[in-house]
Structure formats: structure tokens, C-alpha cells
Chains A and B, each alone.
Chain A
């Protein structure tokens, strides 16, 4: 049973517009969430995270929103740039757990 789901395998957005990537989770014990970005032929790199005590965390063009009641988080990128084209993974963990649970990723393509 997949505990972290990214239901959109791909997303295409015009340069300069907002990109919204979504992630749903089922485990109510998850209390820390992360987004990773992966370019081809490279490993995933950490992008931004959020603790369950918050509902929003912002870092430059990237903002993560957490809706605990809906068990849903989203990553907003604005304005989107061509260099943002990559696969984005959502991940979650529970307090005391030593592992991250990843979603299957969403491929974002930014069109000029």
C-alpha cells in the first residue's frame, strides 16, 4: 500500500506561470514532509520541507503548503523557469522513524 502518492506523473507549465505539484499521504503518523528535485543522471536534491506544526513554508520561489486534515501537501513554484524542469519527489516521515517514504514523482516541464 503506497503511503505517499503523487497522482500526476507529469505536468507542463508555461515559463513565468505558477507550477503546482501535489502530494497525498495516508499515514496520519507522518509529521515531516520534504520535496526533492531530480535532474536526469543526477541524484535527488533536497528542495524544501515542512513540519506538521506549520501549514506553509516559503523559500524564494518555492512554497510548500500542508493541509493536515486532507492529508495533502503541495509545492508551488512561481514564477516557473526552464531550469525548474525536473522530476519532483514528495517524501514523508514519522517522528522517531529512520526512513523517508517517497512518492513516485512528478515530471515537471517548463515551456518557454
Chain B
């Protein structure tokens, strides 16, 4: 496996369910991110982790609970979600916190998990 992988790719859950999204990066990066993309809206940053420590929580409701056991893995635990939480959830990683290199490449994204809350 290379790059950033996310599982599951699709998830349907009821409002009372508990589920988890998983992200794994095989790039040796130290920073990982969760984004939410709703229809016709910009990508919204949710959480940032650097060397397993959370460095940013962008006012995300507590029904979303992130976990970063090591620099290669990031989870998003979901419980009692609302239908408006239905969206594409993207994970990304970067070498450091927004490293600007000559090539300019910064965050590498996974394919996302398409979540539907009924």
C-alpha cells in the first residue's frame, strides 16, 4: 500500500449508531488531518494532529471524536450523528505542519469516506 488509504469507502449509519473511520498513511509523514466536504461547500478542516498530538480542533461537535495512536494512523469515531453530518470525510497527511518545499506540495489526501446518516 502506498499513499493515504481510508476505510470504509462508503458508510451508511443511523443516528443512534457508533462507527469509526480509519485513515492510514504510508508516507512517513508526521502530521495528519481530517476534513469534511459537504455538497457545494469548501473543504472544512476538522482536526490536525502532529506527532500524535492534536494541535487543532476547528470547533467540531463532540459527536466526532478523533484518535491518533501513532503518526501513521488516524481514526474518527462517530456517535449520535445527525443527517446534516452526511458528507465526504477526507483524511490527509503532510511531512510536517504545512511544510513549504520548493515543489510546493503539501498535503496528500486519501480517497475519502462517503458517509450517509439516516
9 nearest A-B pairs in the assembled complex, by CB-CB distance: A43-B109, A49-B104, A102-B43, A98-B97, A102-B42, A46-B105, A104-B42, A44-B109, A99-B45
B11 to chain A, nearest CB (A): 14
Number of interface residues of B (CB under 8 A): 28
Which B residues from 18 to 76 make CB contacts under 8 A with A? 31, 40-45, 48, 50, 55-56, 58
Number of interface residues of A (CB under 8 A): 28
Q: Mask for A71-103, Cβ within 8 A of B = 1, else 0?
A: 000000000000000000101010001111111
Give the tally of cross-chain contacts (CB within 8 A): 64
A interface residues with partner B (beta carbon < 8 Å): 2, 4, 9, 32, 34, 36, 41-46, 48-51, 89, 91, 93, 97-105
B104 to chain A, nearest CB (A): 3
Q: Mask for B93-111, Cβ within 8 A of A = 1, else 0?
A: 0000110100011111111
